[in-house]
Amino acid sequence: MKKTFIALALFSVAAGAQASDTSCQSVTENEITSLFQQWNKGLKAKDPELMADFYAEDAVLLPTLSNEMRTNHAEIADYFSYFLKKGPQGEINERVVVLGCNKATDTGIYTFSFADGSKAQARYTYVYRFADNKWLISHHHSSVMPE
């Protein structure tokens, strides 16, 4: 019993120390919304590698125009090699941004306009994580709106 108590006490102290070592990167809603603007500008470059660089190494992408989940840099770049051929440009229709400690979410509805004149409206969620002194997308889910 005494050993269990000591082990629990040490674990609690270690967990508390770890939590206090974590510093939260301050961020504003405008800074998070500007991340989408940067991502959207990246579409114009038509460079799949550039687009994949907006994502964390362990990011998950559930893309708008693909049935495949993408879980690493190469798979994300592969999706963008297809998507960028369509000449997409996004516009946010409505959004909700939630800020947290070294993370933020941007959720809402956006519309993509394509080079051929077609459009696709979709629901989206971007989860951003602050790591290595920059904000990266750790999760991006986009699905076409049901008709």
Give the strand order in the sheet containing 103-113.
Answer: 55-62, 134-144, 119-131, 103-113, 89-100
Angle in degrees, CA 93, 135, 50, rounded to 5: 80
What are the domain boundaries of the chain?
27-144
Supply the pLDDT for residue 5.
Answer: 46
Nearest one of 26, 23, 29 to 98, comparing CA atoms: 29
Q: Determine the residue type at 125.
A: T
The backbone torsions φ and ψ at residue 17, rounded to the nearest 5 degrees and listed phi first, read: -65, -40
Per-residue pLDDT of the chain (147 residues; tens, 9 = 90+): 555 444 444 444 444 444 445 799 999 999 999 999 999 999 999 999 999 999 999 999 999 999 999 999 999 999 999 999 999 999 999 999 999 999 999 999 999 999 999 999 999 999 999 998 999 999 999 999 997
Supply the pLDDT for residue 16.
Answer: 46
Tokens matching residue 44: 């114009």
Supply the pLDDT for residue 11.
Answer: 44
Supply the pLDDT for residue 112.
Answer: 98
- The answer to whether the CB of 76 falls within 8 A of the CB of 61 is yes
Supply the pLDDT for residue 2.
Answer: 54
Fold of 27-144: Nuclear Transport Factor 2; Chain: A, (3.10.450)
Supply the pLDDT for residue 147.
Answer: 76
